[in-house]
Chains A and B, each alone.
Chain A
Amino acid sequence: MSKKKDLTIVCFSGDFDKVVAAFTMATGAAATNRKVTMFFTFWGLNVLKKEQGRKFLGQGVLAKVFNFLMGGGNKLPLSRLNFAGASPGLMTSMMKKHNVATLPELIEAAHALGIRMLACEMALHILELERSDLIEEVEDVVGVATFLNESEDGHIIFV
Chain B
Amino acid sequence: MINFLDITKETCPMTFVKVKLQLAKMEKGQTLEVILNEGEPLNNVPASCEEQGYKVLSTEAVGDGKHRLMIEK
Contacts and interface: CB of A to CB of B under 8 A. Distances in A.
A112 interface: yes
Interface residues of B, number: 15
Interface string B31-73: 0000000000000100010011000000000000000000000
Given A28-B16, A33-B51, A112-B21, 5 more contacts: A24-B12, A28-B12, A32-B51, A99-B11, A112-B17
Contacts, number: 46
Contact of B13 (A1, A24, A98, A99): A24
A157 interface: no
A31 B9 contact: no
B35 to A, nearest CB: 15
B2 to A, nearest CB: 22
A31 B13 contact: yes
A31 B11 contact: no
Interface residues of A, number: 17
A112 B22 CA distance: 11
Contacts of A32: 16, 44, 48, 51
Contact of A99 (B9, B16, B20, B21): B9
15 contacts: A1-B51, A24-B12, A25-B13, A27-B17, A28-B12, A28-B16, A28-B17, A30-B20, A31-B19, A32-B16, A33-B52, A99-B11, A100-B11, A101-B11, A112-B21
